[in-house]
Amino acid sequence: MSKKVIVVLFGGQSPQHEVSKISAAAAINVMDTDKYYIMPVYITHDGKWMMYDGPVENIANRQWEKYATRVILSPDAQHKGLLRIVGDRIKNISVDLVFPLLHGGIGGDGAAAGLLEMARLPYIGSDMFASNAAGNKIYMKKLAKRLKIKTADYITFSDIDKNKLDSICAKIEKTFGYPVVVKPSRGGSSIGVNKAENKEELKKALEEADMCDSDIVVERAVKCREFECGILGKSNVIVSQIGEIKTEDAIYSFDAKYNNSKTEIIVPADIEDEKMNKMHDIAVKMFRELGCKGPARADFLINEETGDVLFNGLNTMPQFNSNRSYIMLWEASGIEFDKLIEEIIDMELESTGE
């Protein structure tokens, strides 16, 4: 039986470019090369596609880029593959499956899924609609409300006028007081997300969020605990153990997630069975409602004053790194990293008849 050709797509033009490289290196490192022929394809910051054949440990740095060759995805559905460019020669390379390990905008937001669907290439992960919808915090809050799932209280702003920040702050102060959490509606669970304790911090947070997206969510900040749950499946959906995020930062920001060595993920979380089951139920409900497939991660809060479980988001392509929560959640559930990757790949190959 011939090996299946798996393209691992990584890098990209989003602020999470470096995170994507780390994800790809970790995932490739545990893939079964007896079963799969792995083709790493890197998208540079400025959008060039490069194919790499060297040691996997070089993926997380830039040492290998000068040895890589240009490649493009063929949009022709009859090709079902890549076009590799070496000098004045172009070679068509057939592909069985694409693993788009892209995080954030311009890729992880459904753009990659749409491109792959046009090329009729099977891929891992949710489709264009589900990925784009999951990455839109305002849409997800409205969906949760329709499904009678609680989220943090919020108000929204669009295309804010920086000359009117005082009036915007006044509205927020009247609605919630302080503290509040300010988030760009699109751009990931932590990019541009800040907690504001006063007007000066609020103005700064609004300006930063506005640089990430024209739509902004402002939430009432409550004393809470943060949790995550791994999801995997298609027609049959399974969930992992619940993990709790412990951080010394004010919120689980991008810096707390990737740069603070004191941030911990406790798995399994120390919570009542009732709350754990509720998180599992919500995770599966939101996953299915969006029509997701493959891997995903659901985020939650528990309001320490009321005890309410609050849905806080769904990530349709979580980070694949051995010290990231998605992998830790599944390992605590009895599925090791290499077996998890194998399950994700084989599930998609089987569903496409490959």
In the chain the domains, ranked by start, together with CATH numbers, are 4-123 (3.40.50.20), 133-150+223-351 (3.30.470.20), 154-220 (3.30.1490.20)
Angle between helices 337-351 and 17-30 (to 10 degrees): 90
Q: What is the pLDDT of residue 324?
A: 78
How much is the pLDDT for 1?
57
Give the Cα-Cα-Cα angle 31, 32, 36 (nearest 5 degrees).
95
Q: What is the structure's pLDDT at 287?
A: 98
For residue range 145-200, what is the model confidence (pLDDT) as tens digits?
Answer: 999 999 999 999 999 998 899 999 999 999 999 999 999 999 777 788 999 999 99
Q: What is the pLDDT of residue 349?
A: 94
pLDDT at 81: 94
CB 149 within 8 A of CB 286: yes
Res 302: pLDDT: 97
pLDDT beneath 50: ranges in the chain: none
Bridge partners of residue 222, in order along the sequence: none
Whole-structure pTM value: 0.92
Which pLDDT value is given to residue 59? 79
